Amino acid sequence: MTPEQLAAAIRGALQAAVAAGDVTVAVPDEVRVERPRNRDHGDWSTNVALQLAKGAGVPPRELATALATHLAAVEGVGSVDVAGPGFLNITLDAASAGELARTLVEAGPSYGHGSSEAGRVVNLEFISANPTGPIHIGHTRWAALGDAMRRLLAAAGATVAAEYYINDAGAQMDKFGASVLARAAGREPADDGYPGAYVADRAAEVLAQRPDLLDLDPDEALVVARDLGYVAQLGAIRRTLDRFGVHFDVWFSERGLHEGGAVERAVERLRAQGHVFDAEGAVWLRTTDFGDDKDRVLVRANGEPTYFAADAAYYLSKKDRGFDEKVYLLGADHHGYINRLKAIAACAGDDPEHNIEVKIGQLISIAGQRMGKRLGNAIYLDELIEWIGSDAVRYSLARYPADSPLSLDGDELRRQTNDNPVFYVQYAHARTANVARLAGEDGVRREDGFDAGLLGDPTEAALLAVLGDFPRVVAQAAHLLEPHRVARYLEELAGRYHKWYDTCRVRPTSVDEEVTDVHRTRLWLNDATRQVLANGLDLLGVGAPDRM
């Protein structure tokens, strides 16, 4: 019995209690079940009696007792206990609990996917690093988390588009172009330029396309170096993200906003909404009406639009493209953007509590050192992949909430020990694959038999309970945009599997032992665990190796 089937059974028991006249209450459309913290309290628990008692006009325990009588009669339910103020603790019989193993294997990669977020149309913007250098470790945190959020939302039924906002306008692009031009000429970049070694690589690529670069008029040479260097650097960023398993549906150019007139149109649209005013020769957006600490300039007195104007135009672009929800994943130095972006949403006629969400990622460091491209001391994602490996980096970043500062120890992440969480989980998957291979060599085949009632060992009941909880974990992680919930779940599942492996044998222990349905049924449970580990790791963008 799956948690969904149990929830339906509880609804049925409620309906039966109402029909029998035991209680008078409106039966809810949905009932939630959860795993109790203490496994001695049963396989599943529900607080539905506490939720409905007021409407029923009876004490919660009285309602729970009436419900327990009808629920205990449901096939597959072993026992129902009323606990505390009115909780129902439910224990399934072995056969009903064990049936989940077959259900799960047959569901395959779709197990854990659902429709809890169906109807949501989400634009998920993350990374959005300036195309003036490689992806570094700060961006990497959002690469791992943002892509995991995308996968979770899709698994929960949402329509989601991952978007990369290319900051390819403004003074930093000219400084980047000047740095590329300086390297091409064999000079050091200016003090406010970009000194990283990668700039020399971009310069070489530009010279390969334009051997006449240094013969051009200085102003023209700067434009050529900037534009060709930008294309080359953006290509390098794409290749790095491909290596990391991160793919975007949309690459949106800030320069395109300006060149296409979107910024000017955005100002006029906001003016029509009644939130734009003119003062001191500039054009302002009255964001203080919506919680911002001060009004913001859209167009300076010299006629130049501000970055904030581009932000407004970009928001309106997302709205016009049909995205009801816009999620921004921003760096630790962007706290000030929260109120101003929400103010833009409000000025555009949206609900800032629904149509926009801004998440801020905290700093990440290696050995406590903060990094930056202009300092030339950044640790780049390509280097992390070579040093630690994509899987270890992605898993380690996904297992912590975005708002917690994080320091990585590369040597620890490379260790193949149980103290290394990614190794611990991946090893569990590899062990399930190895068990299946060896069982096959011994003649243990799933298709030859399955008897769910044989999965009666306590370690099997505990493992099945964790496996059954996976859809709930995925739905909750998707709703809250918190991938770390999946990572921590996988670690719990790996632990339960290792304990089961130490206790229950899938293969015969000797050549004389006959293969029975006990072995075959345990192989179903082994393979069910393998599937959930693979499904969970995939949601984090992490590989599930068959051998380690």
**In this structure, what CATH number is given to the domain that contains residue 64?**
3.30.1360.70
Distance CA 78, CA 95 (A): 10
Q: Which residue has the higher pLDDT, 95 or 524?
A: 524
pLDDT for 173? 94
Residue 353 belongs to domain spanning: 126-260+323-413
Tokens standing for residue 287: 């964001």
Q: Please, are residues 123 and 163 in contact by the beta-carbon 8 Å criterion?
A: yes
Q: Is the pLDDT of residue 156 over 90?
A: yes
205 and 237 both lie in a single domain: yes
pLDDT band of residue 509 (cuts 50, 70, 90) is: confident
Among 267, 268, 349, 280, smallest CA distance to 308 is for: 267
**468-496 average pLDDT score:** 96
**238-263 average pLDDT score:** 94
Phi, then psi, of 403 in degrees rounded to 5:
-90, 15
Q: Is the pLDDT of residue 29 over 50?
A: yes
Taking the model in full, what pTM does it have? 0.87
DSSP H or E segment with residue 337:
helix 337-347
Largest separation between any pair of C-alpha atoms in the chain: 94
**In this structure, what CATH number is given to the domain that contains residue 173?**
3.40.50.620
**468-487 average pLDDT score:** 96
Tokens standing for residue 325: 């929800």
pLDDT tens string 398-426: 999 988 877 777 677 777 777 789 999 99
Distance CA 325, CA 352 (A): 10
| Residue 304 included in any domain | no
* Among 92, 110, 139, residue at a domain's last position: 92
pLDDT tens string 107-143: 999 999 999 999 999 999 998 888 999 988 878 889 9
The SS3 assignment for 376 reads: coil
| Residue 236 included in any domain | yes
User: 3-state SS of the chain: helix, strand, coil percent to 5?
Assistant: 55, 10, 35
Among 519, 372, 379, smallest CA distance to 442 is for: 519
**137-165 average pLDDT score:** 94
**480-487 average pLDDT score:** 97
Distance CA 474, CA 490 (A): 11
| Residue 339 included in any domain | yes
429 and 502 both lie in a single domain: yes
The sign of the torsion formed by the CA atoms of 206, 209, 211, 212 equals negative
| Residue 101 included in any domain | no
Least confident range of 129-143, 337-351, 464-478, 498-512: 129-143
151 and 211 both lie in a single domain: yes
pLDDT for 27? 87
Least confident range of 34-48, 80-94, 428-442, 471-485: 34-48
Give the total number of structural domains in the chain.
3
Tokens standing for residue 115: 């429709």
| Residue 328 included in any domain | yes
pLDDT for 368? 43
pLDDT tens string 352-388: 999 999 998 776 766 544 444 444 456 788 888 888 8
Q: Is the pLDDT of residue 25 over 90?
A: no
80 and 132 both lie in a single domain: no
Q: Is the pLDDT of residue 518 over 70?
A: yes
Q: Please, are residues 468 and 100 in contact by the beta-carbon 8 Å criterion?
A: yes
* Chain mean position to CA 54: 38
**538-543 average pLDDT score:** 97
Q: Which residue has the higher pLDDT, 281 or 417?
A: 281
Q: Please, are residues 265 and 256 in contact by the beta-carbon 8 Å criterion?
A: no
Distance CA 202, CA 112 (A): 44
Torsion angle defined by CA atoms of residues 245, 248, 252 and 253, in that order, rounded to the nearest 10 degrees: 20
Looking at the DSSP assignment, which residues form a beta bridge with residue 278? 283
Please name the residue that has the structure tokens 């449901």.
74
| Residue 361 included in any domain | yes
Torsion angle defined by CA atoms of residues 476, 482, 484 and 490, in that order, rounded to the nearest 10 degrees: 30
